[in-house]
Amino acid sequence: MNQSKDPAVSVSDAEALASAERYLMNTYRRPPVVFDHGRGCKLYESHGRAYLDFLGGLAVNALGYSHPRIVKVIRREAGRAIHLSNLFHNQFQGPLARKLVEWSGMDRVFFTNSGTEAVEGAVKLARAFARNQTPGPVPKTRILALENSFHGRTLGALSLTYTEKYRTPFTPLMPGVEFVRFNDVADLESKFDESVCAFIAEPVQGEGGIHAVSDAFWMRARALATQHRAALIADEIQCGLGRTGRYFAYQKFGGPECFPDIVTIAKPLAAGIPLGAMLAREEVAFAFSPGIHGTTFGGGPLACATALEFLRVVEDEHLLENVRERGEEIRAGLQRLAARFDFIREVRGEGLILGLELSIDGRPLVDEALRQGLLINCTHERTLRFLPPFIIRPADVKAFLRKLKTVLASASQLDRAGAP
Ligand SMILES: Cc1ncc(COP(=O)(O)O)c(C=O)c1O
C-alpha cells in the first residue's frame, strides 16, 4: 500500500516496476525496489521499510529528504514562477551568483541544468578564452584531462571522460583530448605546451574511486596553466559545495594563487532540483559575450531560489563542521573495519566523500547492503563509495558502521565458503 492518499501517486509498486521494465530504455540495472518518500537521511518503501541512505542520490541530497526550509521555498516559488527564460531577469539568479562567487573566489557565473552541461560550457569558455589571445605558432585547442576521470555523458564531456566502456560506443569523440597519468607531474609536464587551452581535473575523483589530486600535482598544473595561458578547470560537480568539509575541494591547496580559472558544479546545488553552474575568473569569463552561449532552462527562478536556500542552510546549520566531524568518525570506523577484514585494501577520501577499496568484487556487497537496509554503491568493481547527506548525526554514523560490518562479515563468510 502506498503511503500517499493522492490518487496521482498511488501507483502500485508492481505496476511501477512492470512499466519501467516494458517502456524505459535499457541504461540502468536497478534492484526491484520502489522508493516512496524520504525523511532526513532515510528513504522508505511504500510498505514502510526504511533504508539508511549513504549514497544521497549520488551526492545530490546533501540536505537529505524533505528538509523543511527547502520544501517551503519550493512550495512558495511553484506558486509564483517556475520558469521565465534567460531573456529576462529573475530575482534569484544574481543573488545566487553573488553567493557562489563569495564561496568560490571566482568572479562570474553561468547557470546550467546539469553537471555535464556545466562541463560543456567550461570547454567552450576555455576555447573562446584561448581564441581571444594573441595567436601563437600552433592552434591553441588541445585539452588535457586525467586518467580515471569522469566529467559527464554528453559528447564534449564524454571526450574528457577516461573510462573506455563509456566512450567506445560513441566514437569519434571530440578530437584534441589527451589523458595525463594521475598525480604524475612528469607526464603532465611532457604533455603541457602552448597548444593546450585547458587542463581539467576533479580535485577528488568520484566515479574514478575517490582519489585525491596531490598538492604537488595541482600546484604544477596551476603553474603550467599560467605559463601557457591555458584555463585550469576544477570539476567540483561531485566533490564541491561542502562535501569535503570545505566550500570547494580546491581550497585545500591554499589561497587564491592556487585557485582554478573555471569551476564546474551541479549535484547538491539546488537540493535535488536540476541545476548546475560554471564559475570563472573575470579575465576568462570575459571571453563570453551575448549570444555566444545560452540555455533555455538553466537558472530558472524556482531552481535558483532553492539553491540560494541550500547555501544558506549549509551556513546556518554549520554543516561544513558537521561534514568534517562526521567524516572523521566514519573514517575512523572504516579504519577499524579495515583492521578486521583482510579484503579491505584502503580507506580513501575526506569529509563525506569516502571510499573503501577491496580486493574482491564489491557489487555483491552493495546488494547485501540493500538487504540490510543500507544504500551505498560501488565504482570500478572494487571500491565501495559513500556519499551521505551533510545532515547525518553521530547516531547515523553508528548505524551505518554497524550495518556495513554485517555486510562485510557476509562477504568473508562467502569467501570462506568459496575457498577450496
Ligand atoms: C565529477 C563529475 N563531473 C560531471 C558529472 C556529470 O554530471 P551530470 O550527471 O549532472 O551531468 C558527474 C556526475 O556524476 C561527476 O561526478
User: 44 with 38: CB under 8 angstroms?
Assistant: yes
3-class state of residue 91 by DSSP: coil
CATH architecture of 71-316: 3-Layer(aba) Sandwich (3.40)
pLDDT of residue 134: 77
CB of residue 236 inside a 6 A radius of ligand 1 = no
Nearest by Cα to 274 from 404, 410, 384, 117: 117
CA dihedral 333, 338, 344, 345 (to 10 degrees): 110
Residue 115, ligand 1, Cβ within 6 A: yes
Cβ atoms of 35 and 45 closer than 8 Å? yes
For the CA of 235, the nearest atom of ligand 1: 1
The C-alpha cell at 99 is 553567493
148 lines ligand 1 (CB under 6 A): no
The H or E element that residue 177 is part of is strand 177-180
Could you count the other beta carbons within 10 Å of the beta carbon of residue 70?
A: 22
Report how far ligand 1's centroid is from the alpha carbon of 237 (Å).
6
Q: Is 407 exposed, middle or buried (0-12, 13-18, 19+ CB in 10 A)?
A: buried
Three cell numbers at 89?
531577469
| Ligand 1 lined by 114 (C-beta under 6 Å) | yes
Dihedral sign, Cα of residue 193, residue 149, residue 158, residue 390 = negative
For the stretch 148-176, pLDDT in tens is 999 999 999 999 999 999 999 999 999 99
Greatest Cα pair distance, the chain, in angstroms, is: 70
C-alpha 27 – ligand 1 centre gap (Å): 16
pLDDT digit string (tens) for the chain, length 420 residues: 445 566 666 789 999 999 999 999 999 999 999 999 999 999 999 999 999 999 999 999 999 999 999 999 999 999 999 999 999 999 999 999 999 999 999 999 999 999 999 999 999 999 999 999 877 788 899 999 999 999 999 999 999 999 999 999 999 999 999 999 999 999 999 999 999 999 999 999 999 999 999 999 999 999 999 999 999 999 999 999 999 999 999 999 999 999 999 999 999 999 999 999 999 999 999 999 999 999 999 999 999 999 999 999 999 999 999 999 999 999 999 999 999 999 999 999 999 999 999 999 999 999 999 999 999 999 999 999 999 999 999 999 999 999 999 999 998 775 554 443
Whether residue 172 has a cis bond before it, omega within 30° of 0? yes
Helices and strands in the chain: count of H runs, count of E runs: 14, 17
Bridge partner residues of 273 (DSSP)? 271
Q: What is the pLDDT of residues 211-270, one digit of tens each?
A: 999 999 999 999 999 999 999 999 999 999 999 999 999 999 999 999 999 999 999 999
Rounded to the nearest 10 degrees, what angle do helices 363-371 and 394-418 cross at?
120
Distance of CA 248 to the CA centre of its chain: 12
CA pair distance 37, 251, nearest whole angstrom: 35
Which amino acid, 285? A
How far is Cα 65 from Cα 374, in angstroms, rounded to an integer? Answer: 16
Sign of torsion over alpha carbons 202, 204, 206, 210: positive
Domain locations in the chain as residue ranges = 7-66+318-418, 71-316
Residue 56 and residue 43: Cα distance in Å, rounded? 10
CA of 134 to the centre of ligand 1 (A): 33
Q: What is the DSSP string of 350-414?
A: ETTEEEEEESS-SHHHHHHHHHTTEE-EEETTTEEEE---TT--HHHHHHHHHHHHHHHHHHHHH
Q: For residue 340, how far is its CA from the centre of ligand 1 (angstroms)?
A: 34
Distance 336 CA to ligand 1 centre (A): 31
Contacts of 276 (CB under 8 A, 6+ apart): 111, 112, 113, 114, 115, 117, 118, 237, 264, 265, 266, 269, 298
Please identify which residue in the block is written with the cell numbers 568560490.
Answer: 104
Phi, psi of 59 (to 5 degrees): 75, 10
CATH 2.40.50.100 given to domain 7-66+318-418: no
Q: CA dist 169 to 149, 161, 216, 290, 305, Å? A: 18, 13, 35, 35, 39
C-alpha to C-alpha distance for 401 and 397, rounded to whole angstroms: 6
Is 209 close to ligand 1, i.e. is its CB under 6 Å away? no
What letter represents residue 373's amino acid?
G
